[in-house]
Amino acid sequence: MILEARGVTVFYGDFRALGGVSLAVREGEFVSIIGPNGAGKSTLINVLTGVLAPTAGEVRFNDRDIRGVGPVALARLGLARSFQLVHVFPDLTVLETLQAAVVSRLGRGTRLFSSLAGDAQVQAEALEVAELFGLAAKRHTASKHLPQGDKKLLDVASAFALDPQVILLVEPTSGVSTAEKHTVMKTLVDAARAAGVKAIVLVEHDMDLVASYSHRIVALSEGKVLADLPPEAFFADPMIIETVVGKRRGH
C-alpha cells in the first residue's frame, strides 16, 4: 500500500469533520474522492497531505507515519499536491514557476529567485516538465497571461516538478471550459505515466471526469466513507448517486 489512512477521525472543537475514515491507495491506481459540500473532503485532503494531524487514526505513506508532518516535508518524501503557484506568483513565467518548484525540491529555497536563471540543473529539469505538459512553447510567458486551461496545467506541473511518487489533485479542471476538461485531464494522466508517478488521488466534482479516469471512487458523506467502489459498481447504485451527487447521473 503506497498511501493509507486508517480510522481517521478529526474534531474541530465539538464538531466531528471525519469519523473513522479508512482509505487505501495502491501503486498504479487512480482514486477519486467525491462527496457533497461538508462531506469532509477538504479535511481528509489536509490530513493526507500532512497539513492537519488527525484527532485519532493513522496516516501512512510508504509505510511511514506522516501525521501532521507538513506538505513541504511530505513533498520531499514523494507525495505532492499541486502548488497553485500561478496564483501566488502571477508575474513569474511558466519556466520560472517550474524552476521555483525544482529549487524547492533540491533544497535550495533560501536562494530561490537568485537560483532560477543561473542553475543549469534547475533550468533543465524545469524545461523537461514544461515539455511533458505541452507548455515548452510558452515557457517565457507570464503565468497570468496564460489561458485558463494552461494555468491549470501549470498548477499541476509545478507539483510534478517535485518528482513525486504520488500526486494529489484538487479540482484540477475548475474554471476550465467543458470542452477543455478532458484535454486537460488526459494531459495530466499522460504526463503522470511518462514521469513514473505511481498513483493519483483526485478530488473532483465533475462526475464525467471521475467516471472516465478512476479505478476506484471513494464517496464521503457526513464525514464517513459511504462507498469505495470501481466506477461501474458505483454508478450502478442509484441510492449512492442520490446521496453523493444529489441527483441521478445524466438527469
Q: What is the pLDDT of residues 64-123, one digit of tens each?
A: 999 999 988 898 899 998 765 667 788 999 999 999 888 877 766 545 555 555 678 888
In a domain, 137, yes or no: no
Residue 78: phi and psi, rounded to 5, are 120, 15
More confident residue, 114 or 233: 233
- Least confident span in 29-43, 100-114, 157-171: 100-114
In a domain, 126, yes or no: no
User: Number of structural domains, the chain?
Assistant: 1
Cell readout for 48 is 493526507
Among candidates 67, 20, 39, which has minimal Cα distance to 220? 39
* CATH code: domain of residue 41: 3.40.50.300
234 pLDDT band (50/70/90 cuts)?
A: very high
State the average pLDDT for the chain: 90
In a domain, 86, yes or no: no
In a domain, 29, yes or no: yes
Range of the domain at 209: 1-72+199-251
In a domain, 89, yes or no: no
Q: Given this model, what pLDDT does residue 250 score?
A: 47
In a domain, 246, yes or no: yes
251 pLDDT band (50/70/90 cuts)?
A: very low
Q: Given this model, what pLDDT does residue 85 score?
A: 62
In a domain, 212, yes or no: yes
In a domain, 52, yes or no: yes
